[in-house]
Each structure stands twice: as structure tokens, then as C-alpha cells.
């Protein structure tokens, strides 16, 4: 990407999960790893959990395509909070009209519903539990797995929401060893593409608290795909119902999974913080 001219961006967040959004429609090149790192630096750049690029759709039934980039320039497959921010950005831009439209994401098409309370509900697709599709090198699919880590043996569920997730149920999310177990589990060879690690505290059949240690970002204030994965894993383990409010450090998301063979829906806010130019 040519940065000789200042790069216009939008700073946004979804339940505290923060993003820089840039418009690459018209065939502009994706950001380099150096630019992603410069923008993502919270001291000398703008700061973000992920960088979102809005691009021309590859499909005629979608209003736009988006991609997700980590601060090291690597690509991510999915981000529910980011998808809501892209939806809000396109609504403000005028590209997306009406209450319902579709986005072309790195992990497939996402159906968007704009609600009257200025929140967005997204059909995030069907959770994938088959180990090879996560990917996770377990010998067989199971509701829970165990691995030995430096802090001891841990039990967790695993699922993909277009990106890999491991979910540990903990007595208290506030006291969970997120910054010890998160990177330790991410580094395991059993997850060849790494893994987002969720620490879930069940409060009631319809409410949990969750902290997520994400690939390429560390702990974030919210993770939409992580909230979906946590509910899906806990449903399979019989720990929660199918309509669950997920309390994350940055806000609450509403997750609904009506049936095993259907998509999981995530609803929550998207907010504009400021507009700016970089370079």
C-alpha cells in the first residue's frame, strides 16, 4: 500500500474490542506487515486489537468484503466484533441499506440484521467440532479434552467459528490464569495454527463471564467468535442453554444457538470512536 499520502482510517470498537478500519475498495493493495505494526502500536501509532480492511465483494449477494489483520501483518479468519463494526461502517457509508444485508468474510458469508436499538445481529455460521477442521490433532471428537501444561493438567473443549478456539471452564474468570495458560495452550503443537483460548465462568444457564486470550493480540476486552465458541462448547457439555448472555470485560454479547445443525447468532454493539489520518 502506498502511504505517501495520509491514510484515512476509522477507529471503532465492539464491546471494547478495538479496531482500525480502512477502505481498500477499488482494488487497493492490502496493508504490509510494517504498516499493520505501525498502525497497531498503542504508543506511536493508533492502536488496535485487529486491523479491518473493507474491500470490494467477490460475491454479488454481498455488499462488501472484509479482511482481518493482526498487528504483525498476519491474516485472521474471523472476528465477530469486527464484523459488527464493518456492518456499522458500511451503514454509515451508505453502501449497506435496509435492515438486512450480507458480508463476504474470510470464513464465508455473514448475514447481518440491524436492530432498532442500534445493535447488530450476525449469523456466524455453524460451530465446527471435528478436530481436523479446527484444526486440532486430537485422535477423535469429544466434548472435552485434556493436556498437560506447565501449570498442570487442563480440561477444555475445542471448536472452530472460522478460527480455532479452546474453552476452559473456570470457577472465577477474574482469577483465571489467563496470561499463563493462554500462551501455553496456544504454543501446543496439537494446535498447528495456534488457538484462541477462552476462560468461561458459568453464572447461570443463560449467563456466563468470559475472558479470551487471542492469537496475535493477547487478551482483548471482547472476542465475538470466542463468545460463540464458548457457548457452543458449554452447550455440548450440558452446562448452559441455547440463549446465553456473555459478559466480557468490555461489554455483554447475546449468543443464540437454536439447534445443533443451525448457525449460531451473535448480537451486540458497534461504536465509532474517531476518524483520523496516518502518515
pLDDT above 70: residue 260: yes
Averaged pLDDT for residues 243-272: 97
Kindly list the distances between the CA atom of residue 242 and the CA atoms of 125, 127, 162, in Å, as whole numbers in the listed order.
15, 13, 20
User: What whole-number distance in Å separates Cα of residue 69 and Cα of residue 61?
Assistant: 24
**pLDDT of the residue at 18:** 96
pLDDT digits over 59-82, tens only?
A: 999 999 999 998 888 888 889 999
pLDDT digits over 122-167, tens only?
A: 999 999 999 999 999 999 999 999 999 988 899 999 999 999 999 9
**pLDDT of the residue at 2:** 46
**Residues with active-site annotation:** 79, 223
pLDDT digits over 83-93, tens only?
A: 999 999 999 99
**pLDDT of the residue at 74:** 86
**pLDDT of the residue at 228:** 97
pLDDT digits over 3-29, tens only?
A: 467 899 999 999 999 999 999 999 999
Domain span(s) for CATH 3.10.310.10 in the chain: 7-124+269-278, 131-262
Q: Which CATH architecture has domain 131-262?
A: Roll (3.10)
**pLDDT of the residue at 4:** 60
pLDDT digits over 173-187, tens only?
A: 999 999 999 999 999
Q: Which CATH architecture has domain 7-124+269-278?
A: Roll (3.10)
As a whole number, the mean pLDDT across the chain is 95
Amino acid at each position: 500500500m502506498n502511504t505517501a499520502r495520509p491514510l484515512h482510517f476509522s477507529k471503532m470498537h465492539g464491546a471494547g474490542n478495538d479496531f482500525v478500519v480502512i477502505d481498500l475498495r477499488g482494488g487497493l493493495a492490502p496493508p504490509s506487515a510494517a504498516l499493520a505494526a505501525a498502525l497497531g502500536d498503542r504508543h506511536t501509532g493508533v492502536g488496535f486489537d485487529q486491523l479491518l480492511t473493507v474491500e470490494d465483494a467477490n460475491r454479488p449477494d454481498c455488499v462488501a468484503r472484509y479482511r482481518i489483520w493482526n498487528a504483525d501483518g498476519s491474516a485472521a479468519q474471523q472476528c465477530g466484533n469486527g464484523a459488527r463494526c464493518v456492518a456499522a461502517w458500511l451503514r454509515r457509508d451508505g453502501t449497506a441499506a435496509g435492515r438486512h444485508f450480507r458480508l463476504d468474510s474470510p470464513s464465508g458469508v455473514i448475514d447481518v440484521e440491524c436492530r432498532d436499538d442500534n445493535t447488530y445481529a450476525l449469523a456466524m455460521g455453524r460451530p465446527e467440532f471435528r478436530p481436523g477442521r479446527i484444526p486440532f490433532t486430537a485422535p477423535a471428537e469429544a466434548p472435552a479434552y485434556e493436556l498437560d501444561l506447565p501449570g498442570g493438567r487442563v480440561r477444555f473443549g475445542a471448536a472452530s467459528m472460522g478460527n480455532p478456539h479452546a474453552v476452559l471452564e473456570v470457577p472465577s474468570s477474574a482469577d483465571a490464569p489467563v496470561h499463563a495458560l493462554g500462551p501455553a495452550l496456544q504454543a501446543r503443537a496439537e494446535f498447528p495454527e495456534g488457538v484462541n483460548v477462552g476462560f468461561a465462568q458459568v453464572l447461570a444457564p443463560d449467563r456466563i463471564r468470559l475472558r479470551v486470550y487471542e492469537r496475535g493480540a493477547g487478551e482483548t476486552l471482547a472476542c465475538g467468535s470466542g463468545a460463540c465458541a464458548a457457548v457452543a462448547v458449554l452447550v455440548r457439555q450440558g452446562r448452559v442453554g441455547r440463549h446465553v448472555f456473555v459478559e466480557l470485560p468490555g461489554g455483554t454479547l447475546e449468543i443464540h444457538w437454536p439447534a445443533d445443525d443451525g448457525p449460531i447468532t451473535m448480537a451486540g454493539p458497534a461504536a465509532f470512536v474517531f476518524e483520523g489520518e496516518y502518515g
